[in-house]
Every structure is written in C-alpha cells, then in structure tokens.
Structure 1
Amino acid sequence: MNETLTTDQSQELKTRLLAVRKDLQAQMQQNRENLAPPAADQDGIVQGNVGREVDQALTNIDAADLARIDHALEALEDGSYGLCAECGCSIPFERLKIEPQTQHCVACKSRWEQTKGHTGAR
C-alpha cells in the first residue's frame, strides 16, 4: 500500500471511488435506455441512429472507467492501492484525490501519453 496515505486518506479515496462508481453506473443505465431502437419516421431514425452511436461510445468509455474503479477498489483491499503500475512508486494523495482510479504516477503517465500520442489524463 502507498506508505504516504493515512487511514483517513485511504477511506476518503474509497468513498470517492464508490461515489464515482455509482454515478458511472447511473450514466451507463441511462445510455443503455437511450440505445433502445427509435420508433420514428425516416428522418427520426437517422437522427436516432447517430444518438445511439454516441450513447454506445459513452457506454464503452464508462465501462472502461468502471473497470479502472473496480481495480482501484480491489487494490485498496489487497494493499497495492496508490502504487504506480509502471514504476512502483507511491502516487501522491493529491493526484489520487483528483483521479482516485489512476494506476500511474504523473511521470509514467506523461511518458505513456508522449509515446502513444494521447493527451487525456487517464
């Protein structure tokens, strides 16, 4: 476990992870409901199909985030939470507060984004 995290900080992060998980599950449920086939005229169906594609894409993104949250909750239980999956260093509490499901320190994440050409903070 991240040696720099206090018990209170770990509990705060767990509470945050559970809240974000609940919100994601609600968003995913709404997106699934929106995926129901549209019952409209030709123009409505075209518009509905675009909306359905967006909802499916959002559901896929949310599912990936949900998996990361579940991984973080498991790591809290097994004592490996807050350690960078790449270099093994402790991830600072301030970073975990911003993104409690992160699995990488800033240096490793930045290096990965540069090599992959990504700019998001995932």
Structure 2
Amino acid sequence: MSDALTADQLKELKDLLLTRRKELQDEMEQNLANLAPAERTSSVSQDESARLKNLTREVDSRLTNLDAADLTRIDRALEAMDEGTYGLCDECGCHIPFERLKIEPMTQHCVACKSRWEQKQAARA
C-alpha cells in the first residue's frame, strides 16, 4: 500500500490550508488596524493610555509577525501541492502521514525529523 496522498485527501488538506490562510489574513488585517493610533479615553490618565497603547501595539505587531510566518508556510505548502511534492518530509523525503497533515497541514517534516529538530533546540537552550 502506498503512503502517497489520494486526490480526496489532497483536496481536503488544500481546503484546510485555504481556510486557515483566510483566517490569518483577517487576523492580520485586524492587528494592523489595532496598530493605528487610538483615540484617548478620558477615563484613564495620559500616561496609562500611552503605556496601554504601546503594549497593545507591541502585542499586535508580534501577532502579525507570527501570522505572516504562518502565511508563508501555508503558501509554501500550496506551492508544494502544485509541484507534486506536498506531503514529503523536507529532511528525509518520506511520506508524512495524512493524519499528521490534517492536524498541521503546513508541516514540512515527519514526526521523527521534527522530534530530532526539537531535541537539538532543547539541547541548545
């Protein structure tokens, strides 16, 4: 039996990727809107308002950066689908199981390679 993804599985995963892509774009749009200068409310002091505004901007900026990284991974997965290489581990080249891809459709690594990478990262910390 082949580990390659079926056409139905690829369609399901593509739909998941496109849905998540739209969600991320909407979140980024909202985060960017939150970065715009906000009007002061009279119920908080000017210093508190400035601190709150700076904190909100920092959080929204970081969220936008995380969303942008996820969008890049989604676009890469969609390109791999077009090229016929989707579902293959970037590290070892083995087929990534459908169930793993359903959980994280933009993954680029099988569980074994991802585990080795995480162990290396933990050893560096």
Residue 16, structure 1, aligned to residue 20, structure 2: no
Residue 43, structure 1, aligned to residue 48, structure 2: yes
1:114 and 1:37 mapped to 2: Cα distance?
Answer: 42
In the comparison of the two structures, how many residue pairs are matched?
117
Question: Conserved in 2, the CA contact under 8 Å of 1:17 and 1:69?
Answer: yes
Residue deviations 1:63-107 (CA, integer Å, cap 9, x gap) = 000000000000000001000001100000000000000000000
1:37 and 1:45 mapped to 2: Cα distance?
Answer: 10
1:99 and 1:26 mapped to 2: Cα distance?
Answer: 20
**Equivalent runs, 1:3-82 vs 2, <5 Å:** 3-40=3-40, 41-82=46-87
Deviation of residue 3 (structure 1)?
4.8
Question: Conserved in 2, the CA contact under 8 Å of 1:38 and 1:44?
Answer: no
2:115 and 2:31 mapped to 1: Cα distance?
Answer: 31
| SS state at 2:108 partner | coil
Deviation of residue 4 (structure 1)?
2.1
Q: TM-score, normalization: structure 1? A: 0.91
Question: Conserved in 1, the CA contact under 8 Å of 2:90 and 2:108?
Answer: yes
Deviation of residue 45 (structure 1)?
1.2
| SS state at 2:36 partner | coil
Deviation of residue 48 (structure 1)?
0.9
Deviation of residue 37 (structure 1)?
2.1
Question: Conserved in 1, the CA contact under 8 Å of 2:31 and 2:60?
Answer: yes
- Tell me which structure has the larger Cα radius of gyration: 2
- Dislocated runs of 4+, deviation >4 Å: none
1:95 and 1:88 mapped to 2: Cα distance?
Answer: 15
